[in-house]
Amino acid sequence: METLTDLSRRLAAGDITARALVEQALERIDDPAGEGPRAFMHVSRESARKQADEIDRRRAAGQRVAPFAGVPAAIKDLFDSAGEVTRAGSRVLNDRPPAAADAPAVARLRAAGFIIIGRNTMTEFAYSGLGLNPHYGTPLSPFDRDVRRIAGGSTSGGAVAVADGMAAASLGSDTGGSCRIPAAFTGVVGFKPTAHRVPREGVVPLSPTLDSVGPLARSVACCAALDAILRGTEPQRPAAIDIRELRLLAPTTLLLDEMQPEVASAFERAIQRLREAGASVVEAPLPDLARIPQVNANGGIAAAEAYAWHRELLERAGDQYDPRVAVRILQGAALTPQDVRAVLEARRQLIDSIGAQTRSFDAIVAPTTPIIPPPLSAFESDAEYVRLNALVLRNPSLANFLDGCSISLPIHEPGAPPVGLMLIGEHDADQRLLAVAAQLEKALEA
């Protein structure tokens, strides 16, 4: 798959036009054998073509254009885009007026020249790591499509759009893994920045304390460029790092539990390759990790903050929600202010404690999820839905809880089930984590 840099260079050299890239994306979206109808809730065909033609005209006239002018990108359905209704993957918000302005993250993508090709399907209100959507359809992972495996969530459509070439990048959100789980399940890269790094105005919230805005794309360098754009700075390649100077911590507590054989094999092979390349990988227990599920046992911060936002909507239109999403939100109704304060205090203590134990390492490393994408048929039972949702959220939600940054890289062999390698960095260590990830990506591809 071509990276953003590849596409930018080809456009600048005149090897391809913006209109040709848009038509390629639309052709893949409209492929009757593909996932376009499930990966997109809305496709901006005519506006995308019009923008592409204008960019091509300006380039042909020798006028200066933005670095990524003409590259198709998609946005998750919870971002405001001027003139469009923001539904957040739900029917409940159908009567909302169209957005008056772009969310800052969307506006920054446009300013960098990206053509917004459409709005991606997502888990309703972003409240699940599985990517199922009973209202608009569930996008499927590109792996083993005859079996109909899920793409992960909540940024399900965005991951599938990138994996299938319907967009060169997608804009997602991540409250407990919503960029990284679908990246792992579809074989792309997903980045979750430190929460405050990218503006969240104009984005339907799930949990303001935990929400992050991040990209999904084809490489670490792509995600680094997008992260720079989203935070309002000039893109630069990740800094070069000597892999022999890196120290990585692979915790044996919790994050390796219930691993499927395919994940264990891919993870062990990746760790071995990194060691052979010169990285130091320390496998050791980190007992404090086991406390985090206990702290969040009743829904935690996410349930409390989600219920506060949804309470009136649930009273008015609760029967229109996906029942599996509604029941998770309603957990927050039972949490008292004292409960929430206790969770926040426990979070503060664990951030301090785990930070002190991991500070000498460049990153925590673990499988993004302990399982490969399950088949859609696995979710006929509500009990199995709950179990698998908790399992796929378990590892990536650590970074959100600790207010850090995190990235998922694909590490499976060609033709094998998709598996992600997750790196977690400290609060505001995003630049360092992206540089580490770029070095590991290079080592793993060697």
Q: Would you give the end-to-end CA distance of the chain in angstroms?
A: 17
List strand residue ranges (DSSP E) for 223-362, in order.
Answer: 247-251, 280-284
Catalytic-role residue among 8, 76, 192, 207: 76
Helices (H), 123-170: 156-163
Active site residue 219: no
Given a contact cutoff of 8 angstroms between Cβ atoms, the answer to whether 179 and 144 are in contact is no
Catalytic-role residue among 8, 178, 219, 397: 178
Q: List b or e across 133-158, with b for residues whose CB sees 16 or more CB atoms inside 10 angstroms.
A: bebbbbbbbbbeeeeebbbbbbbbbb
Active site residue 154: yes
Query: Distance between CA atoms of 218 and 239, rounded to whole angstroms?
Result: 18
Query: Distance between CA atoms of 231 and 228, rounded to whole angstroms?
Result: 5
Active site residue 44: no
Catalytic-role residue among 8, 81, 141, 154: 154
- Pair of tokens at residue 182: 């679908």
From residue 141, give the alpha-carbon distance in Å to each of 23, 181, 222, 244, 328: 23, 11, 21, 35, 25
- Pair of tokens at residue 247: 């120290």
Q: Whose structure tokens read 């198709």?
A: 72
Which of the residues are catalytic?
76, 154, 178
